[in-house]
Amino acid sequence: MAQLLTEEEIEGRLRDAQWMREGETIVREQQFADFAAALAFVNRVAAVAEERNHHPDILLHSWNKVRLSVSTHSAGGLTQADFDLAYAVDGLM
């Protein structure tokens, strides 16, 4: 099982990040020019998630906004795998 990060480790990884903490999850919301661009981003995220076998919750809403939520459910909180996925998603922007 993946090891949970400490509060200090989580805070350090979120410093200067586009991600915010909500409980035991990190989240990011991004707005796109239109629905097609938002959906294309979701597909790019899906490809990265499949490669890593670590999948975010994805919400496509308001026709051009995507909200991603990442947590390691099996560990009951945040692990390095969550931040690795977040950093990979940042690279898709």
Residue spans per domain, the chain = 7-90
Mean pLDDT, range 25-30, rounded to an integer: 98
Amino acid at 48: V
Q: What is the pTM of this model?
A: 0.92
pLDDT band with cut points at 50, 70 and 90 for residue 52: very high
Q: For the chain, how many helices (H) and strands (E)?
A: 3, 4
CATH pick for 7-90 out of 3.30.1360.20, 3.50.50.100, 3.40.50.1970, 3.40.140.10? 3.30.1360.20
| Region for 53 from its dihedrals, namely left if φ exceeds 0, alpha if ψ lies in -120 to 50, beta otherwise | left
- CB-based contact 2:74 (threshold 8 Å): yes
